[in-house]
Amino acid sequence: MRSLYKIVSIFSIFLLFQCSIIKEKKPYNVLFISIDDLRGDYGGDQVIAPNMRKLSKNGVEFNNAYANIPVCGASRASILTGLRPTYNRFFHYYSSAEIEVPEIVTLPEHFKNNGYETISIGKIFHTGGDNEKAWSKTPIRQDHFKEEDGRWSDKGWYNYLTKENIDLSNDISDGKAMGWPWESIESESNPYYDGQYAKKTIEYLNEFSNQKKPFFLAVGFLKPHLPFNAPKKYWDLYDRDSIEIAANYFLPENAPIPVKNFNWGELRAYEGIPKKGPVNDSIAKKLIHGYYACVSATDDLIGNIIDELDRLKLRENTIIVLWSDHGFNLSEHSYWCKHVNFETSTKSKLIINYPEGEKGNSKSIVELVDIYPTLVDICELPKPDHVLEGKSMKPILHNPKSKIKDFAVSKYQTGISLIEERYNYTEWYNSDKEVYANMLFDKLNDPNENINIAKDPNQMERVSKMHEKLKSQFGKDFWEPASWTYGK
């Protein structure tokens, strides 16, 4: 009998010990890092980004992560609400979740409602109001920083520091350009907004290290968004003579009318860029050079933040999500910027470090709309009241070889793409819900999407099936007219 009591006592102590472990398990913190216009491939193997590559090796990198819409404001509104774009919703670069779907609880607001301290630094939502109800404190953006003489910053979002560019940008009138699409300055630190965002993020990490409340800390870096402004030391990492313009610096064969009419107006607003036609090779190489420099500058700042996270011993209990809102064309198909349905625009950077997860590269197709349900799942939060249209990536975080879906849907204005492992199919719809143009690429035989085979007689059955599959993903509210207005 004594032996039985002894066994029961030992077992009871064991259970109490296990219960205490479960009880003491802390909620995960979230470090939410956004990078504007970062390509899924950084821009190529030649791009120097050791900190992001290291972060990738310490977690899961999603090699086939797609933006649901390749334009800043709309993509961010979609990601942060967990809602896909519709024909009229999340359409423009200035799209606002707060205006278009005010009834929806956004991702950071959901964390705030569940006991997290939520902080926004830099560009998270696109619009200036930044969905302020989602945050524990007023979001910090560029107009919250002071100059050395005590004046509030008035550089605008382009953040020029050289006199030439400042003078040009202060004289934007009568169709004049806003300044050069690049800038290089001598500085050992990073004096641009992104450098200040990184410093503020590190300050908050130190503050959080002394408190028990979990945090959702979001920092949004502006670069490599145009203009390509970076300290000279990052430009010096690259030899411009060795930089190559894309091999497919031409329109795809059989390009449909919407593709032929694309004019990359975002870049044409800058000094030295022609209003029509291609840029010359010298300008093309300098633009690519500037993009690389900005990626390396941002990577350096991310390294500083992760180093501080490690120093403060916060890493083991922090989920790190690094994402870009969409990709960027660097001369492919003679295009610059995003705003088009090629994978150079729709494919995004997505890396997740999850303390309980495995490490590796995932080939599974995922979408940025999957981020919201994933964080709710792995942080064990209750689901929000609205339906999340993405799918949790938790299975992939535990096994990078697993898959959660076999297609993504991406939309730019009236062009909607169904992206599968092998094929990328796009249709353009008019207001009468009719298809007026389409394109199909076989990524196995044509990985750079150079030949549109949508009109190939041998592909008619495939086009028909993908057309039906794409329509089935529109959802019941896809064609609903907009119920909001901007600018009033």
Q: Can 72 be counted among the known catalytic residues?
A: yes
Point out the catalytic residue in the list 72, 294, 337, 379.
72
**Which CATH architecture is the domain 26-424 placed in?**
3-Layer(aba) Sandwich (3.40)
Sign of torsion, CA 349 130 318 396? Answer: negative
Tokens at residue 433, please?
A: 């819900």
Point out the catalytic residue in the list 110, 126, 326, 339.
126
Residues 92-108: b if buried by 16+ CB within 10 A, e if exposed: bebbbbbebbeebbbbb
DSSP output for 283-331? HHHHHHHHHHHHHHHHHHHHHHHHHHHHHTT-GGGEEEEEEES---EES
pLDDT in tens, 225-268: 999 999 999 999 999 999 999 999 999 999 999 999 888 889 99
Q: How far is CA 261 from CA 16, 131, 265, 414, 428, in A?
A: 69, 35, 11, 13, 13
Taking residues 143-158, report their average pLDDT: 57
Taking residues 393-412, report their average pLDDT: 97
Taking residues 69-92, report their average pLDDT: 95
What confidence score (pLDDT) does residue 19 get?
A: 47
- 97 within 8 A of 125, measured Cβ to Cβ: yes
- Going by pLDDT thresholds of 50, 70 and 90, the confidence category of residue 162 is very high
Domain residue ranges of the chain, discontinuous segments joined by +: 26-424
Strand partners for 78: none
- Going by pLDDT thresholds of 50, 70 and 90, the confidence category of residue 8 is very low
pTM assigned to the model: 0.92
What confidence score (pLDDT) does residue 178 get?
A: 82
Phi–psi pair at 218, nearest 5 degrees: -105, 125
Region of poorest pLDDT, from 61-75, 113-127, 149-163: 149-163
- Going by pLDDT thresholds of 50, 70 and 90, the confidence category of residue 169 is confident
Q: How far apart are CA 158 and CA 307, in angstroms?
A: 28
Q: Can 110 be counted among the known catalytic residues?
A: no
Tell me what the pLDDT averaged over the chain comes to: 91
| pLDDT of 23 strictly over 70 | no
Question: In 3D, which of 405, 458, 396, 448 has the Cα closest to residue 424?
Answer: 448
What confidence score (pLDDT) does residue 488 get?
A: 52
pLDDT in tens, 348-367: 999 999 999 999 999 999 99
